[in-house]
């Protein structure tokens, strides 16, 4: 079973800053199944990135994804107030989906 480890657990930042979130897989995984989600309090997760680097419909271009193998990154080029949330990476291997434990981006 593949384990996704996100780091750091929490980031304290200010609007306008650039942020890089990490998701590391316990073994090499297919990029096509790697996704990133944003979740705000009392809301459902929202798909940001699929296939490791493709933005979902309606997602601003300040969000970008990259990586391959075991190391994947979500970058927010310039934090907006509405970007403070928890971010999860997500992957499927052998028909089993796994989430990372999440990174909280706070003010």
Residues near another protein (CB under 8 A): 1, 30, 32-33, 35, 37, 39, 43-47, 50-51, 54, 56-57, 88, 90, 92, 95-102
Non-local CB neighbours of 100 within 8 Å, separated by 6+ positions = 4, 5, 6, 23, 88, 89, 90
Taking the least distance from each CB to another protein, the nearer of 14 and 57 is 57
Taking the least distance from each CB to another protein, the nearer of 48 and 76 is 48
Taking the least distance from each CB to another protein, the nearer of 14 and 95 is 95
């Amino acid at each position: 079973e593949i384990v996704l480890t996100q780091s750091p657990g929490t980031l304290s930042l200010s609007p306008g800053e650039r942020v890089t979130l990490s998701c590391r897989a316990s073994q090499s995984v297919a990029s096509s199944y790697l996704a990133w989600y944003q979740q705000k309090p009392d809301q459902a997760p929202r798909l940001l990135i699929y296939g490791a680097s493709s933005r979902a419909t309606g997602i601003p271009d300040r969000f970008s994804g990259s990586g391959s193998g075991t190391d994947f990154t979500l970058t927010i080029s310039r934090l907006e107030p509405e970007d403070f949330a928890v971010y999860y990476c997500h992957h499927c291997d052998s028909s089993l989906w796994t989430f990372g434990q999440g990174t909280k981006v706070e003010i």
